[in-house]
Amino acid sequence: MNFFDGIVYLSDVQKFIGFVPDFAPAHVLLALHFTGSNRPDRAIETLSKALEIYNQTTDEKYDKPIIHTYKGTPIGRIFSAQENNKTIAGAYNLRGLLLQQQKKFNESVQDFNAAAAIAPADTGIFLNRAKSLSELKNFPAALADLNIAIANGPPSTEAYFLRGMARRAVGSTTDSIADFSKAIELKPGDPVAFNNRAISHMTLGDRDAALADFQRAIDIDPAFAAPRRNKGKLHFERGENEQALAEYSEFIRLQPKFAAAYATRAAIYERLGQADRALDDYRTVVRLRSAELILKPDDASALNDRSWANAHLGQPDLALEDIERALTIRPRDGSLLDTRGYALLKLGRIEEAIVDFKAAIAIKPADAELQAHLAEAEAALRAAKP
């Protein structure tokens, strides 16, 4: 027998449902078992049955005891109307969490809405809803829920971390640093919080503070790849090529199938005059992204990376084909316009390349690399004139 919920056995719950199939709390107990047994689909199905019963009956129906006997021992639980509301709110919340795990975020939000309406004092529901809203990029709504969870609930590392992410997403980057700092205070060994506080520092132009936080994240967890790449990107932007190379090489060791990292390392090799190694990395980009595009042919980022690599491998015609396709998917993407400009430049269509570089700069005016590409194209145009 499986001991269940500290009170009843799984078999007793199932037997009771056989006797009283329209008793919603018993279905909730069974769903908890399926959840604990890592059977989310059965749990969702059982919770849906409980909620269907609940929505078709009145509270008075639940003002009676569960009484069942196992081996001659009476087992009882009384669900009053008040206890029933708590149980049903928990059912909505649990189904919302299970849907969230399956990345069905819109459906999970609907369940969290129902749970919050029944149990508005349960701050955990607001935190759970904020997670789904964040995944849906509805950061203002997520921020509202997180404010409630933080103001009325116990101190929560997760709540402060998520609010930091939401605040940065809506442009309140300075406030996000305060939230990440609070998350770190509550959980000093969290490398993800250090990594994200570093990103906020970098966004605000405080690169020394960013480097320190990236390094702290690496020190806590040397196998955590993200701060390696972020730190490498910062060194790359500062022209610190040897340091950038070291970080990107370690990132690639940890994440050998991350194609974009090879493209950046290739650019570092070009700066260092190591052309053969750069070409090897561009070939790796083409190989990795081609494999990904077989599965996801409309992945604009993959098309962009393969285009950029082919342009550097002396195949600008293939590069142009990929990037034209990518731009049909994301037509107002500055990085894609920059890549098309580069492919056009390599094809000798310099004036068209300049148009693309200027359009990319209009979208990303602070990007120094785009400015450099425009300057290269304008120099090529001047050199081409008699």
Give the C-alpha separation, 26 to 24, whole Å.
5
As a whole-number percent, the residues of the chain with pLDDT over 70 amount to: 89
Whether 386 has a pLDDT exceeding 80, the answer reads no
If one counts the domains in the chain, the total is: 1
Tell me, yes or no, whether 76 lies in a domain: yes
As a whole-number percent, the residues of the chain with pLDDT over 90 amount to: 77
Whether 117 has a pLDDT exceeding 50, the answer reads yes
Tokens of 168: 């940065």
Tell me, yes or no, whether 95 lies in a domain: yes
Rg over CA atoms, the chain:
28
Tell me, yes or no, whether 6 lies in a domain: yes
Give the structural domain span for 12. Answer: 1-120
CA 341 vs. chain centroid, Å, equals 30
Tokens of 280: 């090897």
Look-up: residue for tokens 């409630």? 148
Q: Summarize pLDDT for 164-193 with one digit per residue, the tens.
A: 999 999 999 999 999 999 999 999 999 999
* Per-chain mean pLDDT for the chain: 90
Q: Summarize pLDDT for 366-385 with one digit per residue, the tens.
A: 888 899 999 999 999 999 88
Tell me, yes or no, whether 32 lies in a domain: yes
The pLDDT of residue 82 is: 55
Give the C-alpha separation, 349 to 338, whole Å.
14
Selection from 322, 323, 225, 307 nearest residue 263 by Cα: 307
Tell me, yes or no, whether 41 lies in a domain: yes
State the helix-helix crossing angle for 226-237 and 241-254, rounded to 10 degrees. 160
Tell me, yes or no, whether 252 lies in a domain: no
Split at pLDDT 50, 70, 90, the class of 196 is very high
The pLDDT of residue 58 is: 54
Beta strands in the chain (DSSP E): 3-4, 8-9, 64-70, 73-79
Tell me, yes or no, whether 182 lies in a domain: no
Tell me, yes or no, whether 60 lies in a domain: yes
Q: Summarize pLDDT for 308-322 with one digit per residue, the tens.
A: 999 999 999 999 999
Please name the residues in contact with 60: beta carbons below 8 A apart, sequence gap of 6 or more: 81
Report the CATH number at residue 54: 1.25.40.10
The model's pTM: 0.84
The pLDDT of residue 166 is: 98
